[in-house]
Amino acid sequence: MNILIDIGHPAHVHLFRFFADGMRAKGHQVVFTVRNKENEIRLLESFGLQYALVGKHHKSIPGKIMGLILSVAKACKVVKETRPDIFVSHGSIIAAVTSWISRRPHISLEDTGNHEQVRLYLPFTEAVLTSLAFHRDYGRKQVRYNSFHELAYLHPKYFKPDKHFRQKLGVEENEKLIIVRFVSWHATHDKNSTGLSDAEKTDLVRALTAWGRVMISSEQTLSEELERHKYHMPPETIHHALACADLFIGEGATMASECAMLGTPAIYINSQIAGTINEQARNGLIFQFPGFAGTIDKAGEILAMDRSLEFFREIREKMLAGKTDLTALMVWFIENWPESFRQAKADPAFEKEFIVRI
C-alpha cells in the first residue's frame, strides 16, 4: 500500500511519525507532503521521513487561497510519482482536494473543530477520526476513539523522557523550569481566537522569572527582552523539556495537551474551546483562561505547591488508564480500509484490542 500524509503543523509530524514507522515496518510506502513553514521540514528530516515540498505558508486570505491552488497542483505531481492508495492528514484541505482529484480515499484526524476548515474538507473526506471528548458531531463519517492525538507520540510505549535533560538545558537541580509558548495566530483554526498582547507577554515573563528559569517557544518574533529567554535547543527536543518542566503556560492548545500526556501542569491562555482540552481541564491537568487575567496568580499557586510534579503525575496516570494506543489504531484502520470503517461503525467496542496500559 502507498500512503500520502499531508502536514500542516509541526505537531502533525509527531502525530504521524510512529504511524509511518509502523506502516513501513509492514512493507508499505509512506511519503509526506509539506509546505515550507515553521519547523516541519526539520522535524521530518530529523526523524528520517520521506517528504515532498508542495509550497510555502501564506498569512493573508488571498495568499492562502492562491497557496491552496498551487499546493494542490504540486501535490498532484507527487501523486503521479508515488501513486498513493490512500491519503491521511490532520484536517488538510490540500490532502482532501488532491485525493478527490485522484479518486482515492482521504482519512482525516480532527481535534480543533474549526468549522470553516472542516466544512471545506469534509465533502472530500471518507472518514474523520476524533476523540470521544471531541465537541463536534460530523455524522456518519465520524469514528470516535477513547484517546488523545498527543498520545500517538507521547504514550510511554513511544516516548521515553531524557532524565538528564534539565542538566542539558543548564537548569539547576533546585531551580524551577517554566516553558512558555506563544503562537502566531495565522493558522486557519486560530481565526476569531485571542491570546496575549505584547505587553502582557512581557509582564508574564517578568513575573515568572521570579519563580525560576523561563524558556520561550514562539512562532512569532520576540522582543529583545524576551529573546533572551528563547528555547535554544533543537525543536525535536521540546517534549523532553516539557516532560521535565515544573509548569507550562501559553497560547498553544497542542503543547498544553502534550503536557497533560506527560503529567506537567499547564495553564492554557486562549479564547478557543476544544473538547479534548476541556476533558484534561476537568481532570485537573490544564487550567484554562480566556485572557491574561488570573494567570500569574495561578502560576504562582502551582509553583508554590509541595511535590507538585508527583501530584500532577498521579492525576495523569488515572486519566490515561485504559486509553487507546492511537498509533496502533491508525495502523489497523488504514491498513484494513474500508472494512475497518464498517467494523468501527458497527461495533462501538471496536478499539478494545488497542488499549495499552500506562
Please report, for the domain that includes residue 201, its CATH number: 3.40.50.2000
Nearest to 334 by CA among 92, 134, 105: 105
152 within domain boundaries? no
User: Alpha-carbon distance 313 to 274, whole Å?
Assistant: 22
Same domain flag for 46 and 137: yes
Kindly report, residue by residue over 88-130, the tens digit of the pLDDT.
Answer: 999 999 999 999 999 999 999 998 767 788 999 999 999 999 9
Residues 198, 312, single domain; the answer is yes
pTM of the shown model: 0.91
pLDDT for position 193: 52
Per DSSP, 219 falls in state S
- Which residues are within 8 A (CB) of 201 and not within 5 positions of it... i.e. 6 or more apart? 182, 226
Is the per-residue pLDDT at 225 higher than 90?
yes
Q: Is residue 220 part of a domain?
A: yes
Q: Give the number of other Cβ atoms within 10 Å of residue 306's Cβ.
A: 6
Residue 205: helix, strand or coil by DSSP?
helix
Residues 173 and 286 in one domain: yes
Same domain? For 297 and 328 the reply is no
- 136: in domain: yes
What is the rounded average pLDDT of the residues 336-348? 96
Tracing cell 514562539 back to the chain, one arrives at 218
Give a yes or no: residue 100 inside a domain: yes
In a shared domain, residues 301 and 225: yes
> Once rounded to an integer, what is the mean pLDDT over residues 256-282?
91
Tens digit of each residue's pLDDT (9 = 90 or more) over 32-47: 999 987 789 999 999 9
pLDDT at position 27: 97
Estimate to the nearest angstrom the gap between the alpha carbon of 228 and the chain centroid: 26
Same domain, 269 and 222: yes
Asked whether residue 158 is assigned to any structural domain, the reply reads no
Contact between 165 and 244 under an 8 Å Cβ cutoff? The reply is yes
Q: Note the pLDDT of residue 33.
A: 98
DSSP 247-272: EEEES-HHHHHHHHHHT--EEEE-S-
In which domain, by residue range, is 344 found? Answer: 2-147+324-354
Q: What pLDDT sits at residue 190?
A: 45
Residue 160 is assigned to a structural domain of this protein:
no
The top-scoring range by mean pLDDT among 156-160, 219-223, 241-245, 272-276 is 241-245
One domain, residues 233 and 307: yes
Same domain (yes/no): 302, 348? no
Helices (DSSP H) in the chain: which residue ranges? 10-25, 40-46, 61-82, 93-102, 115-121, 151-154, 165-169, 198-208, 224-227, 238-244, 253-262, 275-282, 295-303, 308-320, 326-335, 339-346
Has residue 187 got a pLDDT over 60?
no
What is the number of structural domains in the chain?
A: 2
Q: Are residues 231 and 290 in the same domain?
A: yes
Same structural domain, 59 and 106:
yes
Asked, for residue 221, whether it belongs to a domain, the answer is: yes
Confidence of residue 64 (pLDDT cuts 50, 70, 90): confident
Highest mean pLDDT among 37-41, 65-69, 191-195, 265-269: 265-269
How far is the C-alpha of 26 from the C-alpha of 181, rounded, in Å? Answer: 37
Residues 178, 308: one domain?
yes
Strand-pair partners of 51: 32
Whether residue 154 is contained in a domain is answered as no
- Mean pLDDT taken over the chain: 92
- Segment holding 322, helix H or strand E: none
pLDDT band for position 153 (cuts 50, 70, 90): very high
Is 135 found in the same domain as 34? yes
